[in-house]
Amino acid sequence: MITIIQLFAIAISVLAFGMALWLYTWVKAQPAGNSKVESIGQYIQRGANTFLKKEYAILARFAGIVAILILLFIPAPIWKGSTQNIVMAVAFLVGATFSALAGKVGIQVATIANRKAAAASQTGIRYAFLAGFRGGAVMGMAVVGTSLLGVTAVFMLTFDATAILGFSFGASSLALFAKAGGGIFTKTADISADLVGKIELGIPEDDPRNPAVIADNVGDNVGDVAGMGADLFDSNVASLAAALVIGLSLDSSFSAKNVTTVFCFASLGLLSSIIGVGTAKMGKSDNPNHALNSSTYVTTALYAILTAVATQVLGFSWRIWAAAAIGLGVGTIIGIVSDYFTNDEKKPVHFVAKASESGPAFTILSGVSYGFLSVLPAMVGIAVAALAAYLVCDPLGPGYAMFGISMSAVGMLSIVGMIISNDAYGPIVDNARGLVEMALLGDKALGITDSLDSAGNTVKAVTKGFAIAAAGLTVIALLGAFMTEVNATANALGMGMQFLTGFDIMNPVVFFGLLVGTAIPAVFSAMLILGVDRNAQRMIAEIHRQFKTIKGLKEGVEGVVPEYDRCIDIAAVGALKELIPAGFMAIISTLLVGFIGGVQAIGGFLTGNIVSGLLLALFMSNSGGLWDNTKKYIESGKLGGRGSDAHKAAVVGDTVGDPFKDTAGPSINTQITVVSLISSLMSTVFLTTSLF
């Protein structure tokens, strides 16, 4: 049975690649825009690929060093005769490579789809929407197909769940730096372009006179496409890794039912996403929000039905199905909550817009307040999902409660193919809007791309909330995987299978880890935001220099073009300089806590890291999305429209929110996953070598 299901998983992965190829061919076959659209679009494509090449060159060296360390020390020193180290090192490199490939595929199609969507906007909204959505769906299909294929292949070759952790660590570590680096790049350019263009000069968002405008569009691709693709690739792989580690420990030598369930449910999730993507189209209302939401609901319903049928036919446990359904349902609810706090049709955005009439201080105060309010429903949702899955599966026997939580995470991430498609749609249509404005395609095309962009901003807020919530359940499951790994090692050393059953916070070693772990997400966020701050100041100085020294630039004299490359270079160099310290800080902190306090301290560290990380990630993601759509709500003509005092205050709020929602916020969930995986991989070392 297990082999048949794994072959089914490979077949579904291949089907996803076929769907991705068909979508890519369709997007590429759409009519091209005028010469100016094509010229600017190719400029954006070259800039994105150049940055990605530089970033991957640095990350390749990092991956090589880490692979050598894994080869030497994990799971045990190689000189003690451990042959598993070779498998772990190779799995790590494969995971990192697949994660990098996910980003590259996303960039390749997004930088074509933006031009096609811009061109289609001249004829109507339906084909412009399809060009943006199907461009994003190429990445959705490729990312999830690659992650499922990678996990299945590694498991079939090794039948070792720890090797899956190595594969997941490769994906997570690369995603951590890719998301951080892309986030710093994109928000450096976005902030600089907004502050000088909108506030100082009062020129439109994508005015070609602004030297930072091309860097801003490049940033959308390297941050929101490549970065988020690597992030969700990592979350999906990590959820499967946690479920497989726990499931394999529960399976007997005569049955692999739990592992079979994991692969079956993951495969049906991808199949549901393939069908859901195929149903996405504009209805009679020409409402892009409705089109995006309806395809998501189709995918969700299909997954629930297909997994129920599989449970009945293949004799899986209905309790395990219920745990997956709980995760799926809570993921949907958290998406709705994120939508309420960030959608420009809802009251929070309207209240913050009204507050902006009194100045930027009130924009910030109200936005921060709503951001914090948005945290409670999402945190309660994650807590309820974990508790409900735990209680539903606990009667199945010892260890099944944590397996239930891991399957809840798998259920929540089951529709990740559709989520990535929706998420990548956002930056594609944002770029399309910029191309329309820079190429002067007219008010009709601008109105259409504004509508598509507004839907993209809303859906990005929803997908970020979903991604963070999914990471929350995943890392709770990874905490269970950590305990499983520790107990397996302890049993091999004669300490017993129940060496670690929980973490007592009254134990000073656990409490030490708890306090340190709680502080790490805040420090990590501060380092990333300060990186954006420093880099944006350098770019603003460059923009000022160009406006002062290039004659006719500010006046828009025909033939006078800014030095776009200078701004792209500042964003790229600064991002590559700033991305390494924050990631290293999180990794080194984990190792120090483990070597000082051992596995008990690591338990506290992970618990604190999870709780504070989720809180900060949700707060920053939702408050940033709220400020962004407040600005767009005013720009639509409300409360004085563009150029009004309310608009200037909202631009300040959006500027503060940019590194919140696109740099620090979504990077935190990757940071949590990375330290959880390091802890599991180092569990043997921490158990046998620590100060206390």
The alpha-carbon radius of gyration of the chain (Å, integer) is 24
With cut-offs at 50, 70 and 90, classify the pLDDT of residue 639: very high
What is the distance between the alpha carbons of residues 622 and 367, in angstroms, rounded to a whole number? 9
pLDDT of residue 253: 65
Residue range 254-271: mean pLDDT, rounded = 92
Q: Kindly tell me if the per-residue pLDDT of 10 is higher than 90.
A: yes
What is the distance between the alpha carbons of residues 227 and 107, in angstroms, rounded to a whole number? 10
Q: CA triplet 294, 474, 59: central angle to 5 degrees?
A: 100
Tokens of 465: 């909330």
Mean pLDDT, rounded, of the chain: 90
Residue range 82-96: mean pLDDT, rounded = 91
pLDDT of residue 78: 86
Which residue reads 């790229």 in tokens? 572
Q: Kindly tell me if the per-residue pLDDT of 228 is higher than 80.
A: no
Higher pLDDT, residue 178 or 359: 359
Q: What is the pLDDT of residues 392-442, one digit of tens each?
A: 999 999 889 999 999 999 998 888 898 889 888 989 998 999 899 888 888
Q: Kindly tell me if the per-residue pLDDT of 285 is higher than 80.
A: no
Q: What is the pLDDT of residues 121-136, one digit of tens each?
A: 998 899 999 999 999 9
With cut-offs at 50, 70 and 90, classify the pLDDT of residue 461: low
Q: CA triplet 588, 594, 598: central angle to 5 degrees?
A: 175
pLDDT of residue 254: 67
pLDDT of residue 481: 87
With cut-offs at 50, 70 and 90, classify the pLDDT of residue 515: very high
- Contact assessment for residue 677 and residue 478, using Cβ atoms and an 8 Å cutoff: yes
- Contact assessment for residue 146 and residue 545, using Cβ atoms and an 8 Å cutoff: no
Residue range 663-688: mean pLDDT, rounded = 90
Name the residue among 357, 43, 188 with its Cα closest to residue 196.
Answer: 188
Helix or strand (DSSP H, E) at 592 = helix 564-635
Q: Kindly tell me if the per-residue pLDDT of 334 is higher than 90.
A: no
pLDDT of residue 63: 94
pLDDT of residue 191: 92
CA distances in angstroms from 55 to 198, 413, 576, listed in the order given: 30, 28, 7
Higher pLDDT, residue 389 or 635: 389
Number of Cβ within a 10 Å radius of residue 602:
34
Q: Kindly tell me if the per-residue pLDDT of 467 is higher than 80.
A: no
Residue 559: partners with Cβ closer than 8 Å, 6 or more residues away = none
Percentage with pLDDT > 70 across the chain: 98
Higher pLDDT, residue 501 or 13: 13
Q: Which of 212-216, 370-374, 536-540 has the lowest mean pLDDT?
A: 212-216
Q: Kindly tell me if the per-residue pLDDT of 141 is higher than 80.
A: yes
What is the distance between the alpha carbons of residues 112 and 504, in angstroms, rounded to a whole number? 54
Q: Which of 347-356, 375-384, 402-411, 481-490 has the lowest mean pLDDT?
A: 481-490
With cut-offs at 50, 70 and 90, classify the pLDDT of residue 284: low
